[in-house]
């Protein structure tokens, strides 16, 4: 039961952070970051399994590789941006957190731009001039 | 869980011990020394966290941006 | 078609799955938008293919008509084709005629020395194959006595001309050499089922 391990780790860390925060808030912050990363890393293996299965399915169905790659990149960007924003927000830097989120959004939209371009071009060329 | 949970306690312990040493040194009147100890402890913990963040980035690259 | 459908279904499934995997926050909207665009692109992909091949839709619409036009152009040249056919047929007939003549000449050159102790100097077959009713018109044969034969045969005058022409009267030919010539003539007549007028044997 991995969920028990994760919850237990979270509870212990919360208590430890409460203890440390009294004296040294910086250590509390580092501890929170560390535990967050640990939990995520413990789940990364499972996410990777799911994604590999989807990838296999997609290759069997001859799905265009471009689609899958783009989707996975977008998910990766979302994860990283989310993580960074949360950590910075925990540290009390809400403005930096929102900047990180903005960067994530912009990068995702940049990734979507080629797709949008192709679709719009197609629609324009289908429509009678 | 493949990652070492001991590190969590290590970080918490370092934090507590550094705080204690800082308090003791402050009581003894050696303030500058106390600051150095705090900085050293912070460096060690930051190193651990940085290693883990590197690990995280590599993992995300491998899982999501697998063709980069 | 099946591939296309499979692709769309799988893409939708993957998008739903990854939606669940997503960290629930502000990113969700954007990720969903991009995934929707991707699915839209997958749905439109046949149209992209159509456009990238630069398919002329008018050509598609008048496909049957264009085929008929092609057939008409073929009909136009049919006369030429017929002409060519007749020419080729003529050529073929001529070749058959030549071959037949050659083979008959060869046969005579081979067989007459065996049977009559004579040598064929020249054999000339005129056949007619270009008409509807192929037949042999004339056989002109020049023979002479074998020089390597027995001494008794050498005494016979070597130059004796026998011309058996249908128009010519057989009486004016010399009777001595006429005998062998007659034999040869008969032989040839029997072999190819010819009349006496068509075979001409000349003795040298």
Long-range residue pairs from C97-103, CB within 8 A, at least 24 positions apart, any chain: C97/C127, C97/C128, C97/C129, C97/C130, C100/C125, C100/C127, C100/C129, C101/C125, C101/C126, C101/C127
Q: What is the mean pLDDT of residues C25-40?
A: 81
Q: What pLDDT is recorded for position B67?
A: 56
Per the listing, tokens 């979270």 go with A10
Is residue B65 over pLDDT 90?
Answer: no
How far is CA C34 from each of CA A111, A118, C4, rounded to the nearest angstrom? 8, 13, 20
Higher pLDDT, A46 or C143: A46
Q: What pLDDT is recorded for position C72?
A: 52
Q: What is the mean pLDDT of residues B38-51?
A: 89
pLDDT band at A94 (very low <50, low <70, confident <90, very high): very high
Higher pLDDT, C176 or B18: B18
Q: Which two tokens stand for residue C70?
A: 């092609």
The 8-class DSSP code of residue C155 comes to T
Residues comprising chain A, all counted? 129
Cβ atoms of C197 and C125 within 8 Å: the answer is no
Cβ atoms of C120 and C181 within 8 Å: the answer is no
Q: What pLDDT is recorded for position C161?
A: 62
Pairwise CA distance, residues C155 & A95, whole Å? 140
The candidate with the shortest Cα–Cα distance to A5, out of A44, A38, A49, is: A38
Report angle CA A120, A123, A125 to the nearest 5 degrees.
Answer: 110
Q: What pLDDT is recorded for position C172?
A: 47
Higher pLDDT, C45 or C149: C45
Higher pLDDT, C105 or C165: C105
Domains, chain C, in order of start with CATH, read: 97-203 (3.30.300)
Q: Which of A48-52, A89-93, C106-110, C191-195 has the highest mean pLDDT?
A: A89-93
Q: Which residues contact B68 (CB under 8 A, 6 or more apart)?
A: A73, B61
CB contact under 8 A, B12 and A27: yes
Is residue C170 over pLDDT 50?
Answer: no
Is residue C139 over pLDDT 60?
Answer: yes
Number of CB atoms found within 10 A of residue A41's CB: 18
pLDDT band at C38 (very low <50, low <70, confident <90, very high): confident
Pairing of β C118-128 and β C135-145: antiparallel
Q: Tell me which residue in C11, C31, C47 faces A75 most closely, judged by beta carbons.
A: C31
Residues of chain A with pLDDT > 70: what percent? Answer: 99
Q: What is the per-residue burial (b if ≥16 Cβ within 10 Å, else e) of B28-42?
A: eeeeeebeebbeebb
Q: What is the mean pLDDT of residues C120-140?
A: 76
CB contact under 8 A, A122 and C37: no
Per the listing, tokens 């128009």 go with C167
CB contact under 8 A, C10 and A116: no
| Distance spanning both ends of chain B, measured CA to CA | 27
Is residue C66 over pLDDT 80?
Answer: no
Is residue A81 over pLDDT 70?
Answer: yes
Which residue of chain C has the CA closest to A110? Answer: C34
| Residue of C1, C7, C22, C26 to mutate, testing the A interface (most A Cβ within 10 Å of its Cβ) | C26
Number of CB atoms found within 10 A of residue C124's CB: 14
User: A95-111 pLDDT, tens per residue?
Assistant: 999 999 999 889 988 88
User: B11-37 pLDDT, tens per residue?
Assistant: 888 888 888 888 888 888 888 888 888
Pairwise CA distance, residues B31 & B26, whole Å? 5
Residues of B within 8 A of A42 (CB-CB) are 1-3
Is residue B57 over pLDDT 90?
Answer: no
| Distance spanning both ends of chain A, measured CA to CA | 62
State the smallest CA–CA distance between residue A15 and chain C in angstroms: 25
Per the listing, tokens 């918490």 go with B12
Q: Tell me which residue in B16, B48, B56 faces A40 most closely, judged by beta carbons.
A: B56
Is residue C18 over pLDDT 50?
Answer: yes
Q: What is the mean pLDDT of residues A43-68?
A: 81
The whole-chain average pLDDT of chain C stands at: 73
Pairwise CA distance, residues A107 & C71, whole Å? 59
Per the listing, tokens 């056919």 go with C85
Q: What is the mean pLDDT of residues A47-70?
A: 80
CB contact under 8 A, B63 and A41: no
pLDDT band at C152 (very low <50, low <70, confident <90, very high): very low
3-class SS shares of chain A: helix, strand, coil, % to 5: 90, 0, 10
For residue B64, the SS3 value is coil
Q: What is the mean pLDDT of residues C188-196?
A: 79
Number of CB atoms found within 10 A of residue C70's CB: 10
Q: What pLDDT is recorded for position C167?
A: 54
Pairwise CA distance, residues C125 & C101, whole Å? 5
Sequence-ordered strand ranges (E) for chain C:
118-128, 135-145, 199-203
């Amino acid at each position: 039961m991995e969920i028990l391990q994760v919850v237990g780790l979270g509870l212990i860390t919360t208590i430890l952070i409460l203890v440390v925060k009294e004296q040294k808030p910086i250590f509390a912050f580092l501890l929170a970051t560390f535990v967050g990363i640990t939990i995520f890393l413990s789940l990364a293996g499972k996410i990777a399994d799911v994604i590999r299965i989807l990838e296999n399915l997609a290759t069997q169905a001859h799905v265009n590789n471009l689609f899958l790659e783009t989707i996975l990149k977008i998910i990766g960007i979302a994860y990283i941006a989310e993580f960074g924003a949360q950590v910075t927000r925990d540290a009390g830097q809400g403005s930096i957190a929102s900047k990180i989120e903005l960067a994530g959004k912009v990068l995702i939209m940049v990734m979507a731009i080629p797709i949008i371009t192709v679709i719009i071009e197609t629609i324009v060329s289908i429509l009678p001039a | 869980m493949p990652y070492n949970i001991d590190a969590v306690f290590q970080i918490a312990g370092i934090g507590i011990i550094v705080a204690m040493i800082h308090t003791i040194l402050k009581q003894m009147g050696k303030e500058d020394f106390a600051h150095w100890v705090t900085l050293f402890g912070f460096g060690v913990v930051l190193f651990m966290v940085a290693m883990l963040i590197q690990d995280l980035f590599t993992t995300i690259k491998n899982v999501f941006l697998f063709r980069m | 078609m099946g591939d296309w459908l499979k692709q769309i279904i799988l893409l939708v499934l993957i998008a739903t799955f990854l939606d669940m995997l997503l960290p629930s926050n502000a990113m969700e909207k954007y990720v969903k938008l991009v995934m929707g665009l991707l699915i839209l692109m997958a749905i439109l992909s046949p149209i992209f293919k159509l456009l990238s091949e630069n398919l002329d839709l008018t050509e598609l619409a008048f496909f049957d008509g264009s085929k008929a036009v092609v057939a008409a152009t073929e009909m136009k040249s049919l006369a030429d084709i017929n002409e060519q056919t007749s020419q080729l047929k003529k050529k073929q007939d001529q070749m058959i005629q030549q071959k037949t003549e050659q083979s008959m000449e060869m046969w005579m050159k081979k067989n007459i020395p065996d049977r009559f102790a004579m040598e064929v100097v020249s054999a000339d077959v005129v056949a007619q194959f270009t008409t509807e009713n192929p037949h042999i018109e004339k056989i002109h044969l020049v023979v002479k006595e074998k020089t390597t034969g027995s001494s008794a045969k050498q005494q016979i005058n070597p130059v004796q001309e026998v011309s058996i022409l249908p128009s010519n009267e057989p009486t004016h030919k010399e009777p001595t050499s006429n005998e062998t010539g007659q034999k040869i003539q008969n032989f040839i007549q029997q072999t190819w089922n010819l009349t006496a007028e068509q075979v001409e044997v000349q003795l040298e």
